[in-house]
């Protein structure tokens, strides 16, 4: 008997619409798997009642009988990252402050997923306020890595990544400021895609002009599935003044990448420390690129990377701290905030406008510098994480290769460059280390070159022969 959870999302959609499998049967298969694996993994939270979910699946089946499909995700189970609101479902942001909050509306990308026919069955776990690349919080606890339950799932889209890797969901939404789609993709052997800034509209919060570091995006087991979900999430929306115009994101069956020029950034000339084994594993991806005809240069970035880090921390704090400040000023609520949030807020209280402006100037210089790289290269490639999945009981890695990490997020410094430039990034599996743990690479495309990047990531996926269904 066919295990429908092994189908790609594209295959699942075709099977549902061909009526070769019912929406009820699909939902039962996924719910059975959730019942079996999720108690250990803790990827999906706030799961709705099974009977209610199956009622929704029956409605989807009746619609198909009547000749009507809501979209390519018709009858799909989906769980929304717990940093986004889905109307009628809890949205805790991983915080005790909001553990009883029920979403009043759908966020824009959630609204689009629902309109494409998906059945929202619950939420996926995330760190408190999405801070830190380790999915653990005081409301639901830690999400565990499916390849080693004693290890971290990464974050902040850790619940989403595990749900996809363990085949609890066909695809999942995530979001990414500091690698939150990329780090968990690396930790869980799946595909994460951080789109160009503005590709997926937000319009969320009371300030919609100055939050230019984070974006929603897709997670999937294949590039094709990621592209399909991105096409659903993406497109102009008047509620987001910085959203990009609609653009075709469909992939061609095959493309020729002979002569494509790649710059491998590696450890940035020794600037970044890596856990033993990570960098060598990720470098093997270069052999895959060579096999499809790419020309590769290993370069040392001629930019002050420490200045970029200072700029990043300043701008991130500006965005995070001021959004959380009202909670901090309430002393009782402050007691329920984690150390990461307190660190950001108290640092933000000391910031000056001159520091913020100077940080933006450095960011601008970085963007200009990256554009000069793209005059010579089609894609930039680097690791997605500096460590393998770490002990799930650690708060964060405070040391890498003997080098102390001076903040709670310094261990993920490798991801900040694309975020600062607003570039599209495909986070792709690179394989497994001798320890049996996965790692991954970032393939970075030119500004707003999302479709071209997806096409190139597809070529890498096909040439590498990536298997994202190794789990029983």
Catalytic residue list: 81, 156, 180
Q: Using an 8 Å Cβ cutoff, are 141 and 128 in contact? A: no
Neighbours of 364 (CB within 10 A): 13
Closest by CA position to 423, among listed 441, 443, 440, 444: 444
3-state secondary structure of 50: helix
User: Is the alpha carbon torsion for 382, 305, 445, 469 positive or negative?
Assistant: positive
**Residues near 462 by Cβ (< 8 Å), separated by ≥ 6?**
none
Query: Which helix or strand (DSSP H or E) is residue 286 part of?
Result: helix 285-291
In order, the DSSP letters of 310-347 are: HHHHHHHHHHHHHHHHHHHHSHHHHTTS-HHHHHHHHH
Closest by CA position to 432, among listed 459, 468, 402, 461: 468
Closest by CA position to 205, among listed 369, 342, 328, 322: 322
Q: Using an 8 Å Cβ cutoff, are 231 and 193 in contact? A: no
Q: What are phi and psi of 417, to 5 degrees?
A: -55, -55
Q: Is the peptide bond before 156 cis (omega within 30 degrees of 0)?
A: yes
Query: Which helix or strand (DSSP H or E) is residue 426 part of?
Result: strand 425-432
Q: Using an 8 Å Cβ cutoff, are 129 and 94 in contact? A: yes
Q: Using an 8 Å Cβ cutoff, are 439 and 431 in contact? A: yes
Q: For 200-241, what is the HEC assignment?
A: CCCCCCCCCCCCCCCEEEEEECCHHHHHHHHHHHCCCCCCCC
Closest by CA position to 247, among listed 447, 113, 78: 447
């Amino acid at each position: 008997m066919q295990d429908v959870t092994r189908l790609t999302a594209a295959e699942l959609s075709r099977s549902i619409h061909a009526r070769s499998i019912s929406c009820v049967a699909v939902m039962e298969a996924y719910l059975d798997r959730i019942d079996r694996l999720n108690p250990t993994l803790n990827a999906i939270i706030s799961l709705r009642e099974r009977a209610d979910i199956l009622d929704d699946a029956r409605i989807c089946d009746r619609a198909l009988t009547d000749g009507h499909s809501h979209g390519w995700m018709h009858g799909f189970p989906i769980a929304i990252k717990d940093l986004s609101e889905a109307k009628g479902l809890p949205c805790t942001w991983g915080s005790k402050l909001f553990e009883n909050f029920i979403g009043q509306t759908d966020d824009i990308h959630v609204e689009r997923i629902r309109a494409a026919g998906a059945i929202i069955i619950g939420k996926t776990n995330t760190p408190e306020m999405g801070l830190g690349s380790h999915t653990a919080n005081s409301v639901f606890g830690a999400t565990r890595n499916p390849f080693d339950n004693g290890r971290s799932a990464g974050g902040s889209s850790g619940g989403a990544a595990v749900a996809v890797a363990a085949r609890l969901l066909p695809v999942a939404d995530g979001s990414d400021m500091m690698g939150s789609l990329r780090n968990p993709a690396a930790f869980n052997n799946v595909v994460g895609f951080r789109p160009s800034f503005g590709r997926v509209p937000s319009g969320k919060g009371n300030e919609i002009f100055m939050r230019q570091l984070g974006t929603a995006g897709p997670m999937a087991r294949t590039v094709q599935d990621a592209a399909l979900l991105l096409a659903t999430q993406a497109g102009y929306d008047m509620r987001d003044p910085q959203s990009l115009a609609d653009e075709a994101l469909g992939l061609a069956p095959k493309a020729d990448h002979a002569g494509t020029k790649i710059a491998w950034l590696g450890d940035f000339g020794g600037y970044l420390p890596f856990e033993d084994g990570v960098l060598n594993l990720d470098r093997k991806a270069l052999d895959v690129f060579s096999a499809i005809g790419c020309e590769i240069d290993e370069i040392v970035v001629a930019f002050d990377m420490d200045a970029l880090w200072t700029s990043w921390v300043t701008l991130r704090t500006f965005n995070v701290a001021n959004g959380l400040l009202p909670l901090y000023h309430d002393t009782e609520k402050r007691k329920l905030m984690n150390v990461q949030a307190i660190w950001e807020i108290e640092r933000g209280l000391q910031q000056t406008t001159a520091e913020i402006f100077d940080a933006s100037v450095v960011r601008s210089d970085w963007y200009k510098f990256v554009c000069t790289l793209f005059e010579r290269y089609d894609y930039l490639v680097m690791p997605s994480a500096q460590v393998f999945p770490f002990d799930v009981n650690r708060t964060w890695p405070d040391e890498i290769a003997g080098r102390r990490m001076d903040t709670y997020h310094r261990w993920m410094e490798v991801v900040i460059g694309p975020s600062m430039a607003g570039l599209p990034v495909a986070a792709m599996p690179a394989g497994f280390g001798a320890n049996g743990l996965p790692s991954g690479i970032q393939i970075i495309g030119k500004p707003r070159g999302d479709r071209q990047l997806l096409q190139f990531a597809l070529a890498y996926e096909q040439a590498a022969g990536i298997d994202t269904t190794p789990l029983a």
